[in-house]
Chains A and B, each alone.
Chain A
Amino acid sequence: MTFGETKLGRKKRRNEAIAKVVFLGMALSMILPLVLIVGYLFHQAWPILSLDFLTAMPRRGMRDGGIWPALLGTFYLVTISLVIATPIGVAAAIYLNEYSRDNWFTRLIHLAVVNLAGVPSIVHALFGLGAFVMFAHLGRSILAASLTLAIMTLPVIIASTKEALASVPMAFREACWSVGATRWQTIRGIVLPNSISGILTGIILQVSRAAGETAPIMFTGAVFYKAIPEGRLFAYGLFDQCMALSMHLFTISTQVPEVPPALPFGTAVVLVMTVLLVNAASIALRAWLRSRKKW
Chain B
Amino acid sequence: MANEPKIVIEHFHASFDGKPVLRGLNLQVFPRERLALIGPAGGGKSTLLRSLNRMNDLAADFARQGRILVDGVDILGPHIDIALLRRRLGMVTPMPNPLPCSVEENITLTLKMAGIRDAHRVVERLETGLKNVHLWEEVKDRLAQPALHLNNRQQQLLCLARVLALEPEVLLLDKPCSGLDPVAANRFEDVLADLKSRYTIILATNDSKQAARASDRTALIMAGELVEWGSTHDLFFNPANAATKAYITGRF
Binding site for B on A (CB under 8 A): 101-102, 171-172, 174-182, 185, 189-190, 194, 293-295
Contact = CB atoms under 8 A, between A and B. Distances in A.
A179 B55 contact: no
Nearest to A185: B113
B87 A294 contact: no
A193 to B, nearest CB: 8
Interface residues of B, number: 31
Given A189-B109, A294-B147, A295-B146, A177 B55 contact: yes
B163 A179 contact: yes
B90 interface: yes
B114 A179 contact: yes
A171 B97 contact: yes
Report which residue of A172, A177, A185 has the largest number of chain B beta carbons within 10 angstroms of its beta carbon.
Answer: A177
Contact of A293 (B83, B90, B100, B162): B100
B110 interface: yes
Given A172-B99, A178-B97, A181-B110, 12 more contacts: A175-B97, A176-B113, A177-B58, A177-B86, A178-B93, A179-B87, A179-B113, A179-B166, A180-B83, A294-B100, A294-B102, A294-B146
Contacts of B97: 171-172, 174-175, 178
A177 to B, nearest CB: 7
Contact of A175 (B60, B98, B114): B98
A181 B112 CA distance: 10
A206 B110 CA distance: 36
Interface string B94-132: 000111111000000110111000000000000000000
Which 3 A-B pairs rank lowest in CB-CB distance, beginning with the nearest?
A294-B146, A180-B87, A175-B97
Contacts of A190: 99-101
Nearest to A169: B100
A102 B60 contact: yes
A178 B99 contact: no
B100 A182 contact: no
B193 interface: no
A45 to B, nearest CB: 47
B148 A295 contact: yes
Contact of A181 (B58, B102, B113, B163): B113
Contacts of B146: 294-295
Contacts of B159: 175
A180 B100 contact: no
Contacts of B101: 190, 294
B55 A181 contact: no
Nearest to B147: A294
B41 interface: no
Contacts of B93: 174-175, 178
Report which residue of A101, A178, A185 has the largest number of chain B beta carbons within 10 angstroms of its beta carbon.
Answer: A178
A182 B83 contact: yes
Contacts of A295: 100, 146, 148
B100 A179 contact: no
Contacts of B110: 179, 181
Contacts of B143: none
A181 B162 CA distance: 13
Contacts of B99: 172, 175-176, 190
Given A179-B90, A189-B109, A174 B55 contact: yes
A128 B114 CA distance: 46
Contacts of A102: 60
B58 A180 contact: no
17 contacts: A171-B97, A175-B99, A176-B113, A177-B86, A178-B53, A178-B97, A179-B86, A179-B114, A180-B82, A180-B85, A180-B87, A180-B113, A181-B83, A181-B113, A182-B83, A185-B113, A294-B147
A43 B29 CA distance: 82
A172 B113 contact: no
B91 interface: yes
Report which residue of A190, A293, A295 has the largest number of chain B beta carbons within 10 angstroms of its beta carbon.
Answer: A295
Contacts of A180: 82-87, 113-114, 166
Nearest to A168: B100
A65 B4 CA distance: 90
Interface string B151-164: 00000000100110
A174 B82 CA distance: 14
A175 to B, nearest CB: 4
A35 to B, nearest CB: 39
Contacts of A293: 100
A171 B58 CA distance: 13
Contact of B100 (A101, A178, A194): A194
Report which residue of B93, B101, B102 has the largest number of chain A beta carbons within 10 angstroms of its beta carbon.
Answer: B101
A178 B60 contact: no
A174 to B, nearest CB: 7
A175 B148 CA distance: 13
Interface string B48-83: 000001010010100000000000000000000011
B133 to A, nearest CB: 15
A87 to B, nearest CB: 24
